[in-house]
Structure 1
Amino acid sequence: MDKINRNDLCWCGSGKKYKKCHMEQDEFITKLEAKVGYEIPRESIKSEEDIEGIRKSCKLTHEILDMVGERIKAGITTEEINKWVHDYTVEHGAYPAPLGYHGFPKSTCVSVNEVVCHGIPSEDKILKDGDIVNVDVTCILDGYYGDSNRTYIIGNASKEAEDLVRVAKECLDLGIEQVKPYNTLGDIGYAIQSHAESHGYSVVYDYGGHGIGNEFHEEPFVPHLGKKGEGMILLPNMVFTIEPMINVGKPETTVLEDEWTAITTDGALSAQWEHTIRVTEKGYEILT
């Protein structure tokens, strides 16, 4: 990072002098960087003001997914889900982050069965009994982002589908349990990969989690595969998503002609769960 004097305002935007804010932490991180051999992006460490803003946005995201869970059923279209999400978001003073993001045409992603992620809602796609449906919601509230998704089971699904959705959620939970200061991103990926593969599933490597807060996608990239002790070291007030995509078949994906919808190459089922996570002084906080 650029040289900053102890009496200058802190780089984090808190309005405090550097010596009263992030100076001690930065000195520690500089020593840590010399040890590990790479630079740790300071923007990935949020101020307390940022954390509170992110927390409020994440709370709204959580409420939206609760609302979807109460309404979703066979016979509705994925466009109806999009309208629910859009209207609830706007009514609560926020903006749906996917809408217009790099040209994405809708306010939420709805991914059904073999669709891994980024499914575009449509009036033509009607949910049926036995489907598994991932709804991915990201709110922008007062300039802060909150990102989460859940996979819902519609009616009576097959055992294959139910088992996949359950294990995908377990993968998320096990990944989150690895979040604490001085663990690494590799610890998260290892926990997810080990659990998925122990059940005969594969982990999508084309997509991963990401830093979030002041922007939709920030550093670091959070892989859902890895080795213990490898990757970026986690530090207090880092905020990022963990969102493993778990497939019944092969891990490879392909993107359809709409340039968004990613499906499994073999047509097998895929399930995903996501939370926005903050690293605390001793462990983690699930913000969504």
Structure 2
Amino acid sequence: MIELKTPGEIDAMAAAGSVVARALAAARAAAKPGVRLTELDGIARGVLADAGATSPFLGYQPSFADRPFPGVLCLSVNDAVLHGIPTAYRLRDGDLLSVDCGATLDGWTGDAAVSFVVGTPSADDLRLVERTESALQAGIEAARPGATIGDISAAIGRVARASGYGLHTDFGGHGVGRTMHESPSVPNDGRAGRGLRLQPGLTIAIEPWFLAGGRDAYRIDPDGWTLRSDDGSRGAHAEHTIAVTADGPRILTVAS
């Protein structure tokens, strides 16, 4: 079932999204060589607690996972691109880090992710991050009343193919609202003009993730969560929660 949100409910989701944005910014500011992933998770926990928000990630256990997720951030390093568990790993100069965060505030949820290089970046990593962010922006710009889910998916897929990156339709975007994962699914590739027609009040997360090696194959670590490229190439992930409005897409996961 798809629930269209009222303007007031969208504002409430934006309040939750602002908490997500602040947590991501705090984690990014603290992500220096030598810092443990668990330290970044602790910083994000503090941001959520200070805002009176809870984490939809902590304790989450979907059907594909054999254990609940143990953190409030997904922290994925280098060839890991999604669902990385906060461990005692110490960041190193040049690591490519993807940070995914959610927050629930007053019954409404926001979800967003960002990728960046810790310390000294390589040109290849900078291009991968920039192209992933460009795909996110292309998907957002396609999210207008009268368009379709397929228009969003096709916009993302075009950027990946033009850039020579691997992409996969597993673990794509999704509806967001009272919970973190709602209908509809928003795949990261598809055919324009196909799928659900977008209406004002629809709230979704758009989240491209690209693999630098050009392949779409991945594997899951023994921890049951961390998703890695199967060829060891690096990955990047970018995400915003947005609302479809009569005036166009509204990004909800920005700091207020």
Fold-level match, TM-score > 0.5?
yes
TM superposition score normalised by structure 2: 0.93
Say whether the 8 Å CA contact 1:206–1:252 is kept in structure 2: no
Q: Find the aligned partners of 1:235 and 1:44 in 2 and give their Cα distance.
A: 11
Secondary structure of residue in 2 paired with 1:44: coil
Q: Find the aligned partners of 1:179 and 1:148 in 2 and give their Cα distance.
A: 16
Q: 2:4 — aligned with what?
A: 45
Gaps in structure 1 of 5+ consecutive residues: 1-40
- Deviation digits for residues 70-89 of structure 1, max 9, x if unmatched? 22111101111110011111
Which stretch shifts more, 237-246 or 55-64? 55-64
Of 164, 189, 196, the residue aligned with 2:153 is 189
- Deviation digits for residues 4-48 of structure 1, max 9, x if unmatched? xxxxxxxxxxxxxxxxxxxxxxxxxxxxxxxxxxxxx4x331123
Counterpart check, 1:92 vs 2:56: no
Secondary structure of residue in 2 paired with 1:66: helix
Q: 2:83 — aligned with what?
A: 118
Q: Find the aligned partners of 1:282 and 1:231 in 2 and give their Cα distance.
A: 21
Give the counterpart letter for 1:107 in structure 2.
V
Q: 1:108 — aligned with what?
A: 73
4+ long deviations beyond 4 Å:
none
Counterpart check, 1:243 vs 2:207: yes
**Could you say which structure has the greater relative contact order, defined with CA pairs below 8 angstroms and 6 or more residues apart?**
2
Q: Find the aligned partners of 2:9 and 2:219 in 1 and give their Cα distance.
A: 36
Q: 2:246 — aligned with what?
A: 281
Q: How many equivalent residue pairs?
A: 246
CA RMSD of aligned residues (A): 1.1
Secondary structure of residue in 2 paired with 1:203: coil
Q: Find the aligned partners of 1:95 and 1:44 in 2 and give their Cα distance.
A: 22
Which stretch shifts more, 199-208 or 78-87? 199-208
Q: Find the aligned partners of 1:285 and 1:100 in 2 and give their Cα distance.
A: 29
Q: 1:131 — aligned with what?
A: 95
TM superposition score normalised by structure 1: 0.83
Taking the TM superposition and a 5 Å limit, the aligned residue runs for 1:49-68 are: 49-68=8-27
Secondary structure of residue in 1 paired with 2:194: coil
Secondary structure of residue in 2 paired with 1:96: coil
Give the counterpart letter for 1:271 in structure 2.
A
- Deviation digits for residues 92-136 of structure 1, max 9, x if unmatched? 11111111111111111101111120000011x111111110111
Give the counterpart letter for 2:117 in structure 1.
I
Q: Larger C-alpha radius of gyration, 1 or 2? A: 1
Q: Find the aligned partners of 2:247 and 2:147 in 1 and give their Cα distance.
A: 11
Q: Find the aligned partners of 1:204 and 1:133 in 2 and give their Cα distance.
A: 19
Q: 1:256 — aligned with what?
A: 221
Displacement of 1:49 in angstroms is: 3.3
Displacement of 1:142 in angstroms is: 1.0
Say whether the 8 Å CA contact 1:205–1:251 is kept in structure 2: no
Gaps in structure 2 of 5+ consecutive residues: 62-67
Counterpart check, 1:198 vs 2:162: yes
Give the counterpart letter for 2:229 in structure 1.
T
Q: Find the aligned partners of 1:240 and 1:255 in 2 and give their Cα distance.
A: 25
Higher helix residue share:
1
Q: 2:32 — aligned with what?
A: 73
